[in-house]
Amino acid sequence: NAGVTQTPKFRVLKTGQSMTLLCAQDMNHEYMYWYRQDPGMGLRLIHYSVGEGTTAKGEVPDGYNVSRLKKQNFLLGLESAAPSQTSVYFCASSSFGGYTEAFFGQGTRLTVV
Amino acid sequence: SQQGEEDPQALSIQEGENATMNCSYKTSINNLQWYRQNSGRGLVHLILIRSNEREKHSGRLRVTLDTSKKSSSLLITASRAADTASYFCATDQGAQKLVFGQGTRLTINP
């Protein structure tokens, strides 16, 4: 049982480049989340989805876009990467939002130079 | 801004001692959850307490919730080296969002 899988695990981007982070879950969960984690800042919610075809903004959505075309996948896009987006990105999923436990991926360490 | 704030930011204790960390939040909640994060890894769920519960136990973990004070505490009894990790509280916002605090970094010294 894979749970939540993030691809890639590491990436280095140059300023202005674009990339897509993929999150896949095999638990048939409705809710999916993208967080970023910076030293001393805890986890901050970027975007989330409450079901296939839906997306919503979190606390820090600027500079990111997301899509949930399939229930099992949640994609996070950076159209024009900036050094301020250097961070560790975590994807999570849950069956019913804040009412149930969330399962996390192993994280993607992104460096923008 | 983040919903939950953990206190202390860092805690260092001897193996075998108890560890207590606190979480305060700003708005009304339906549930509060605690997670653990080992260095460089994803978060792992520990326990969920609902707003109508005051205390919950799971093994060596004890969680309390005081909705009148908008605060929760996590107690780890008889700490072990393997408990060294960061601990986060998370609250729901309107049931859909799951918002985390900044975490408490716990170090268990042998």
Task: Transcribe B8-24 into DSSP letters.
Answer: -SEEEEETTS-EEEEEE
pLDDT of residue A2: 76
Q: Nearest C-alpha of chain A: how many angstroms from B25?
A: 14
Q: Which chain B positions have a beta carbon within 8 Å of A35's beta carbon?
A: 100
Contacts of A95 (CB under 8 A, 6+ apart): A27, A28, A29, A30, A31
Q: How many Å apart are CA A65 and CA A28, to the nearest integer?
A: 23
pLDDT over 70, % of chain B: 96
Residue B51 is predicted with a pLDDT of: 94
- Token pair of B46, please? 């520990």
Cβ distance A43 to B43 less than 8 Å, yes or no, reads yes
What whole-number percentage of chain A has pLDDT above 90? 90
What local confidence, expressed as pLDDT, does residue A1 receive? 63
Mean pLDDT of B72-90: 97
Say if residue A99's pLDDT is above 60.
yes
Confidence category of residue B93, pLDDT binned at 50, 70, 90:
confident
Positive/negative CA dihedral, A90, A95, A97, A99: negative
Cα–Cα distance for residue pair B6/A40, rounded to 1 Å:
11
Picking from B62, B57, B64, B73, the residue whose alpha carbon sits closest to that of residue B7 is B73
Neighbours of A107 (CB within 10 A): 21
In sequence order, the β-bridge partners of residue A64 are: none
- Identify the residue with better confidence: B4 or A38: A38
Average per-residue pLDDT in chain B?
Answer: 93
DSSP A25-73: ESS--SEEEEEEEETTTEEEEEEEESSTT--EE-SS-TT-EEE-SSTTE
Beta carbons of B3 and B91 less than 8 angstroms apart? yes
Chosen for mutation from B7, B43, B53 (greatest number of chain A CBs closer than 10 Å) is B43
Partner-chain contact A59 B1, CB within 8 Å: yes
A39 versus A89: the higher-pLDDT residue is A89
Let me know: does A46 contact A60? Beta carbons within 8 Å: yes
What pLDDT is stored for residue B3 in this prediction? 64
Q: Tokens representing A105?
A: 């991926």
- Going by pLDDT thresholds of 50, 70 and 90, the confidence category of residue B94 is confident
Residue range B53-57: mean pLDDT, rounded:
97
Chain B positions with Cβ closer than 8 Å to A: 1-2, 29-31, 33, 35, 40-45, 48, 88, 90-93, 95-103
Return d(Cα B90, Cα B33) in angstroms, integer: 5
| Residue with the larger pLDDT of the pair A97 and B21 | B21
Confidence check: pLDDT of B1 > 70? no
Residue in chain B lying closest to A42 (CA):
B102
With 50 as the cut, is the pLDDT of residue A105 above it? Answer: yes
A45 CB neighbours in chain B (<8 A) are 97-100
Contact A42 B97 (CB under 8 A): no
In Å, how far is B33's CA from the nearest CA of chain A? Answer: 8
Q: Which pLDDT value is given to residue B2?
A: 53
**Are A58 and B90 inside 8 Å of each other by CB?**
no
B32 to chain A: nearest residue by CA? A98
Asked which of A67-71, B17-21, B39-43 is least confident by mean pLDDT, the reply is: B39-43
Mean pLDDT of chain A: 95
